[in-house]
């Protein structure tokens, strides 16, 4: 294992009914003025909105709602939320939703108190946070990114045509309430996309150095198998609480920093999808499903041993004494077959790209990952986009 420092300040409350049981009590110590932020009106249809409001009323809070947070939150929207927080002297932000809502609220928690240029100082580059952001908590309604237990926020700057993610431990939510029953309200399409998004996070940590025996890779293999097993079960029965609860916790484990311990990490596919989303506003999980098989075909020969392990330990492919490279390739093929089984998109055209989409420009805007098994170039990323089109 490589050296590391581990920190996670978020306290997780997991299980059916945990919001009703704990939220009002937790909020009593969070100041008087609360910003209740969420995305779609689906939380009203499901009854989640009323449940949250009831808990906040019990805690006797002044509530300022902020709705309409998009799937790929923009910096412009962050500044709008920060203005509301400042004008109403918000003491606490409660994010209710999936990863996008949580990411957004982290950025707002910084922008509401920082007097400088937040984008230039903390997103365009990694900054040193010498101030305390507005404290926040999370009620999870979708399991996808694990954002509820880290300080990472991914934000799109439409003016600059760039999407950037940074992880600041001070932005970790104080608490995360994770009721898997809430995730059962998501559509089948969203559930499948969220599940693959979780799998993608795990793979991008797993397919990186070190490759010698380490705890992080062993945990990653178990989690990947769990995601595959429970996604299949949830497709058969979307109301399968056991499957949905496992998927929600898989998402947390993928990004609560535990898997990253001692790992270099890759996340090249994430960087590619980030920029595609800027130009197409594609769904994150669907964009990653299109990119991963093509990207892995470009790099698997540079990480044959790990891709062979992936084939054997995740997909159960028999070794049979075959060449390592052949086994590695079969692992990528198994992943592609699973994506097809899930009904996820297989081309960029299916997620919004068309003849007017400048794939070369998008490729050139992508950050190159230092953790990739193969040293990528913008030209090769453009080739991957073309193969996926």
Assigned CATH for 188-388: 1.20.1090.10
Q: How far apart are CA 388 and CA 366, in angstroms?
A: 16
Q: How far apart are CA 202 and CA 145, in angstroms?
A: 10
Query: For the chain, how far is it from start to end, CA to CA, in angstroms?
Result: 39
For 185-217, write each residue's pLDDT tens digit. Answer: 888 999 999 999 999 999 999 999 999 999 999
* CA nearest to 107, candidates 170, 47, 160, 52: 170
Give me the mean pLDDT over the 249-266 stretch.
Answer: 96
Which value, to the nearest 10 degrees, does the dihedral of the CA atoms of residues 157, 356, 345, 105 take?
10
Q: How far apart are CA 55 and CA 26, in angstroms?
A: 10
Q: How far apart are CA 252 and CA 246, in angstroms?
A: 10
For 132-163, write each residue's pLDDT tens digit. Answer: 999 999 999 987 788 999 999 999 999 999 99
Ranges of CATH 1.20.1090.10 domains, the chain: 188-388
Please give the angle made by the CA atoms of 151, 231 and 145, to the nearest 5 degrees: 10
Instruction: Report the percent of the chain where pLDDT is more than 90.
Output: 94
pLDDT of residue 221: 98
Asked whether the predicted pLDDT for residue 320 surpasses 90, the reply is no
Give me the mean pLDDT over the 261-269 stretch.
Answer: 96
Radius of gyration of the chain (CA): 21
* CA nearest to 182, candidates 46, 13, 14: 46
Give every CB contact of residue 154 below 8 A, 6+ residues apart in sequence: 73, 99, 103, 163, 164, 165, 274
Confidence of residue 388 (pLDDT cuts 50, 70, 90): very high
Q: pTM of the entire structure?
A: 0.95
Confidence of residue 296 (pLDDT cuts 50, 70, 90): very high
pLDDT of residue 145: 82
pLDDT of residue 5: 86
pLDDT of residue 251: 96
pLDDT of residue 3: 87
* CA nearest to 226, candidates 190, 251, 206, 205: 251
Fold of the 11-182 domain: Rossmann fold (3.40.50)
For 65-114, write each residue's pLDDT tens digit. Answer: 999 999 999 999 999 999 999 999 999 999 999 999 999 999 999 999 99
pLDDT of residue 2: 82
pLDDT of residue 12: 97
3-class secondary-structure state, position 101: helix
Asked whether the predicted pLDDT for residue 348 surpasses 80, the reply is yes
Instruction: Report yes or no: 206 and 222 within 8 Å, Cβ to Cβ.
Output: no
Which secondary-structure segment (H or E) carries 34? strand 33-38
* CA nearest to 329, candidates 312, 304, 346, 347: 304
pLDDT of residue 40: 83
pLDDT of residue 353: 96
Ranges of CATH 3.40.50.1970 domains, the chain: 11-182
Asked whether the predicted pLDDT for residue 57 surpasses 90, the reply is yes
């Amino acid at each position: 294992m490589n050296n590391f420092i581990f920190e996670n300040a978020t306290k997780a409350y997991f299980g059916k009914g945990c919001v009703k049981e704990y939220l009002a009590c937790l909020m009593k110590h969070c100041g008087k003025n609360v910003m209740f932020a969420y995305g779609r009106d689906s939380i009203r249809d499901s009854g989640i909105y009323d449940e949250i409001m009831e808990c906040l009323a019990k805690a006797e809070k002044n509530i300022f709602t902020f709705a309409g947070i998009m799937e790929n939150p923009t910096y412009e929207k962050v500044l709008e939320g920060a203005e509301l927080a400042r004008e109403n002297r918000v003491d606490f932000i409660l994010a209710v939703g999936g990863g996008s809502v949580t990411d957004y609220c982290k950025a707002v928690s910084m922008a509401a108190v920082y007097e400088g240029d937040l984008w230039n100082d903390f997103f365009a580059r990694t900054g040193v946070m010498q101030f305390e952001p507005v404290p926040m908590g999370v009620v999870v309604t979708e399991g996808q990114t694990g954002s509820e237990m880290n300080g990472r926020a991914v934000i799109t700057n439409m003016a600059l045509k760039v999407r950037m993610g940074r992880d600041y431990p001070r932005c970790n939510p104080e608490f995360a309430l994770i009721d898997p029953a809430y995730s059962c309200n998501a559509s089948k399409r969203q559930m499948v996309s969220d599940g693959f998004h979780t799998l993608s996070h795990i793979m991008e940590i797993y397919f990186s150095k070190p490759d010698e025996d380490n705890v992080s890779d062993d945990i990653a293999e178990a989690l990947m198998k769990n995601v595959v097993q429970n996604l299949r079960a949830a497709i058969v029965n979307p109301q399968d609480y056991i499957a949905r609860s496992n998927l929600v916790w898989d998402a947390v484990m993928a990004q609560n920093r535990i898997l990253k311990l001692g790992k270099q990490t890759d996340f090249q596919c994430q960087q590619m999808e980030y920029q595609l989303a800027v130009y197409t506003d594609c769904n994150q999980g669907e964009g990653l499903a299109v990119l991963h098989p093509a990207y892995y075909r470009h790099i698997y020969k540079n990480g044959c041993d790990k891709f062979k392990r992936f084939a054997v330990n995740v997909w159960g492919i028999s070794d049979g004494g075959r060449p390592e490279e052949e086994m590695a390739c079969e692992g990528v093929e198994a992943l592609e077959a699973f994506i097809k089984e899930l009904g996820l998109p297989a081309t960029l055209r299916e997620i919004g790209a068309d003849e007017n989409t400048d794939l070369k420009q998008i490729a050139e805007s992508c950050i190159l990952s230092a953790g990739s098994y193969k040293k990528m170039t913008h030209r090769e990323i453009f080739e991957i986009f073309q193969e996926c089109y």
